[in-house]
Structure 1
Amino acid sequence: MLFSLQKQFKRPRGILGWVVGKIMEFDNRRINKWSLQQLPIQQGDHILEVGFGPGYCIDKIVQNDSGTTIDGVDISSTMKEAAHQKNKEAIQKGRVRLFVHDISQFQIDDDPYDHIFSVNNYPLWTDTNRALYHLHQMLKPGGTMVITVQPRGEEEKDSRALLYAEQISNELTNAGFKNIQISYKKIRPALTVCVKGTK
């Protein structure tokens, strides 16, 4: 049962996946709010969220920042359905688009993004270096990249957050990002790290 739940958190599917999505939304609400505060969002910005889950952050951006357009990419079709329900009106108005894909291979013929962010999804990426290089290409010059991670499960310790900070900042630098900033916030159950860079 535990192994099954762990798989669901990586790629939620079906009814159990929908329940897991609700758990993630509740558990991540403070982390999500803090992460969004790191983004210098302005009216008319084009934004990408990697790992949108049940669509909480997308909904908050739509409500708080008129004129923004937001794309989301997630590996779970179950989460796409949940996020679609939460953001149905914005999707109908053309402000939100949702995609199911691995971020390392996600490609869209569109204008570059002003901001790209990801909350508690980076540890699930199959190839973080390739993904970050790919995301760098999808960002406008001067655009902002924000990655937030709170260690969970067996990793649930403050020392792991410090290691994530070092790993993410190094990989962002290698991918071509500049002005790397690392922030920490003590949010139960473990220290949370947010790494920010610009193109």
Structure 2
Amino acid sequence: MKLELNSKLKKYRPLLWILVIPLLNICYGLLNHEGVRANNLMTELDAQIPFVPAFIIPYILWYPFIIVMLVVIFLKSKNTYYRTLLTFCLGLIVSYIIYYFYQTTVPRPQVNDNGIIYSLVRFIYMTDQPFNCFPSIHVLTSYLVWKGSSNCRDLSFKSRSLITLMMGAIVVSTLFVKQHYVLDIAGAIFIVEVLYYIVGKLLPFSIQAEHKASVSSSL
């Protein structure tokens, strides 16, 4: 019984690598303040996007979404899990380097209304200073786990649709709660595409190899 339990725990041990993320996140707090110059990347499109407080809900749901998705990817494909997690960590490091050398800011609206939605907005504004905007880590990580899940071939259509919907809601929420600009989103997606490709080439295994092995075993 004890050996069986140890075997099961050993199977899930790779999930402990997720703890690297909060360690790296210490850098975010150190950089989340105005530097010598905070740049503003607002475009004409950003100026037309209204402040919609209700989008604070998907914005906050980002936290459990990321953890749940990393676990799902791990359960579905170990190779994809390692590729996604390594890209995740490298994406954070690249973002922190950009924050250090090119700090940006997004001016926020005044939120004086009462109600739980507005309280949540004020809480986010209070705990996260209006810096560290380009690229958006919310978008970078949400897009990354969505991309990783697309390589998990046995996910159902319903699951994929739900993941896509959640990812999309989080991405647009960053605009509607005035945490990020359009360029912050574009930059995050670009970084994911580049790093995910590089990591896939450098790791000693590939998603394609895993798929071929599974196909061969089924023949």
Higher strand residue share: 1
TM-score by length of 2: 0.25
Instruction: With a CA cutoff of 8 Å and minimum separation of 6, indicate the structure with the bigger relative contact order.
Output: 2
Larger Rg: 2
Higher helix residue share: 2
